[in-house]
Chains A and B, each alone.
Chain A
Amino acid sequence: MSEALWLHGGRVIDPSQGVDATIDVLIVDGLVVTLGGDLRPPETARTVDCSGLIITPGLIDVHVHMREPGEEHKETIATGAAAAAAGGFTGVCAMPNTNPPVDDPAAVGFVAAQGRRAGAARVYPVGCISVGRAGERLALVGEMVDAGAVAITDDGSPVMDSGLMRLALEYSQSFGIPVADHPEDLGLSASGQMNEGLISGRLGLSGKPNAAEDIHIVRDLLLAELTGGHIHLQHVSTRFGVESIRQAKARGVRVTAEASPHHLVLTHEAVKGYLTDAKMNPPLRTSEDKEAVRDGLADGTLDTIATDHAPHHYDEKETAFADAPNGIVGLETAVGVILTKVVAEGVIDLQTMVERMSCQPARAFGLPGGSLAEGSPGDVTVFDPNVKWTVDPEDFVSKSRNSPFIGWELTGRPCYTIVGGRIVFEV
């Protein structure tokens, strides 16, 4: 007996097919069977009334920290996958900077298995570039890909050795995976606590200058150009960085890049009062940088919106600014923040939002999904674009609460998250 799900009466936005219409979606046995205006679903199909709602190919976040193994007090793959589903994401890429790091096929297999067991959003393991994330020699990239890794990165740390980065960009080409880099020159920024500028000066916090990020962005672009490899630049936060990527794309360099919701809507002003929930790496920067990131998102220089979901236990953020770890949770606020502070403010339209949060992440990391074309996985996000809500950490499915958006009034929120034809989250 087949299982069927009939999404009825919603506005379907699927940029992969150029669709934006009020039509129905039928999913049978985990795959999209058809879209249409006058569908006859099987008698046994479960019907979901989507009137007034928006239906999109499932959202994918290519930058999520699950903290498992090693820091399960912050998040586990189960809670992270559930938080992703609650945020409207049907797939997430799990960063390998765990303890121990995911730098061999067994660890990749563990993450994949925990992800399947979670039964929420799909969890795509990402492996390390270097053994132990030590930045010295290449990890077992081929075997990790065989075990399910969809990309490699030493995220959390940059690859400081340009020679190693060159090797990674060359070697990865055999497997068709991107090399994701957290671009940062630690020589300029290792002691930094926030963006270097007037506010860091007044607060007496050491700074991370834009140049620390820009140098590595430019280096990575040059190495991608040299090798022909695919560089994926994570959480781009600077004006010069965006411009450099724009120019590289024009030259035909194989580069994809992320914008984080917080860099799209916040500036370093948010740190005033030493708010540790505004501490992340790269740091929140100036309004000029924020505008550049928004422009880059709009014109496609930045391909994907990725949250850099980085849970930390409340104790760890409840401390002096310098002692607090970097990072914020983002999975459960991304859709609301992007709809309210990016789409509603006219930076991008809904179609572009779906491009940046579903189609392009899938394309950049070679993942299934990102489309509702016939035969695609039945991964679908349904959200209500009009519901108003207030961000309350008590409602978070994630184990952690470290969000700078607490108390924000947002408009728009996911109401169904469907993975493989199965509803894994509903309001």
Chain B
Amino acid sequence: MSLPTASLGKDLVGLEDLSAEQILAILDTAEPFKEISERRIKKVPVLRGKTIVNLFFEASTRTRISFEFAEKRLSADSVNISAAVSSVSKGETLVDTARNLEAMRIDMVVMRHGASGAAQFLADRIPSNVVNAGDGRHEHPTQGLLDLLTIRDHVGKIDGLKVCIIGDILHSRVARSNIYGLLTLGAEVAVCGPPTLLPLCADEFGVEVFTRVEEAIEWAEVLNVLRLQLERMEGGYVPSLREYNRIWGVTNERLAAAKRDLLILHPGPMNRGVEIDSDVADGEHSVILDQVTNGVAVRMAVLYLLAGGQPESAEAAKQGHGA
């Protein structure tokens, strides 16, 4: 007798197509996994014998390590492949990389890739479970989920909450996953940043759009402050980091003007003194380290739910694209 589950299907590519029930199932599953990381022996055998490949085409320390801890604490066998040392840099295509992994009889792939849609592409072509660890500007679903979990932990709810994402929305997969997940769970969502870093049709996403951080702070109950990639300055989207800090930086002075205390999230790694000031990042309303802790639990939950998932959809993928 198995309990009814909000099945995730074969893969986790993004939050856009997940129902509220599915997102809540992941968050609820993450709760007991938090406790495992507090144990003396931080390991349970649930994914014993599963082989997971962490396939990182872009450099990442934080997300890769978080996934690695999640895998190890569930007793999976995992292998890390990074683009710098893989045959990808020798011109191998994504399809061939996928087929080679498949030929080694793996069970799951956790992939980060610089191209939007790469996770979907892989998921459509291999029978293994695919977890998107960030694809281009598209989605970073486990980051979105850990942000949701952290907000829920601290506020107690998401429905009806006003959450503003501040920074480079245009290029941010974190922003997209947050927007989709928050909207699905009933939050009011806003984005704020220089207009050069907002998508053309941002308002059609169903979010408020602010171009001044003071207005965002006035409106919001939660701020999710995104990292400003240094390339954005080189690309001319903002004239200088100093100017960005002066106009869009989240500072204690600006927060002091708000009519309530705001919960502060940041997906890391932070540029202190650019998008966020140290006294905010280290302040009492910052939950940035809780996000990191929750990241491991959320990833454990995702791996666990997918691993027990749907043999028939994996079979369908094999038949559809088997080669």
Contact = CB atoms under 8 A, between A and B. Distances in A.
Interface of A: 196-198, 200-207, 209, 273-274, 315, 318-323
A51 B113 CA distance: 57
A320 B94 CA distance: 8
A201 B200 contact: yes
A198 B204 CA distance: 7
B229 interface: no
A315 B94 CA distance: 11
Nearest to A275: B117
Contacts of A206: 137
B201 A198 contact: yes
A321 B136 CA distance: 11
Q: How large is the interface on B (under 10, 10 to 19, 20 to 34, 35 or more residues)?
A: 20 to 34
A315 B176 CA distance: 30
A204 B115 CA distance: 9
B202 A315 contact: no
Nearest to B93: A319
Report, nearest first, the 4 A-B pairs whose CB atoms are least far apart: A274-B117, A204-B137, A320-B115, A204-B138
B200 A320 contact: no
A321 B201 CA distance: 21
B138 A203 contact: yes
A206 B114 CA distance: 13
Contact of A202 (B95, B115, B135, B176): B176
11 contacts: A201-B204, A201-B205, A204-B116, A204-B135, A274-B120, A315-B93, A318-B93, A319-B94, A320-B113, A320-B136, A321-B121
Q: Which of B16, B117, B138 has the most CB of A within 10 A?
A: B117
Interface of B: 16, 93-95, 113-118, 120-121, 135-139, 173, 176, 199-202, 204-205
A321 B116 CA distance: 7
A347 B201 CA distance: 30
B201 A201 contact: yes
Contacts of B114: 322
Contacts, number: 69
Given A204-B135, A204-B138, A204-B139, 16 more contacts: A198-B201, A201-B201, A202-B176, A204-B173, A274-B120, A315-B95, A318-B93, A318-B95, A319-B121, A320-B94, A320-B115, A320-B117, A320-B121, A320-B136, A321-B115, A322-B116
Contacts of A201: 199-202, 204-205
A208 to B, nearest CB: 11
B93 A196 contact: no
Nearest to B199: A201
A209 B200 contact: yes
Contact of A322 (B115, B176, B199): B115
Contact of B137 (A198, A205, A273): A205
B120 A273 contact: yes
Contacts of B200: 196-197, 200-201, 207, 209
Contact of A319 (B95, B173, B202): B95
A228 to B, nearest CB: 38
A274 B95 contact: no
Contact of B116 (A198, A209, A274, A319): A274
B116 A203 contact: yes
Q: Which of A196, A197, A209, A319 has the most CB of B within 10 A?
A: A319
Contacts of B201: 197-198, 201
Nearest to B113: A320
A268 to B, nearest CB: 11
Contacts of B173: 204
Given A196-B200, A197-B200, A319-B93, A203 B205 contact: no
Nearest to A316: B93
Nearest to B95: A318
Contacts of A274: 116-117, 120-121
A14 B136 CA distance: 52
A286 to B, nearest CB: 10
A289 to B, nearest CB: 15
Contacts of B137: 204-206
Given A197-B200, A197-B201, A203 B95 contact: no
A291 to B, nearest CB: 19
Nearest to B135: A204
A321 B205 contact: no
A320 B116 CA distance: 7
A384 B79 CA distance: 59
Given A197-B200, A198-B201, A198-B205, A203 B117 contact: yes
B141 to A, nearest CB: 12
Contacts of A273: 120
A209 B117 CA distance: 20
B204 A204 contact: no
Given A197-B200, A197-B201, A198-B205, A204 B176 contact: yes
A205 B93 contact: no
Contacts of A322: 114-117, 136
B232 to A, nearest CB: 13
A201 B16 CA distance: 13
A200 B200 CA distance: 9
A201 B136 CA distance: 12
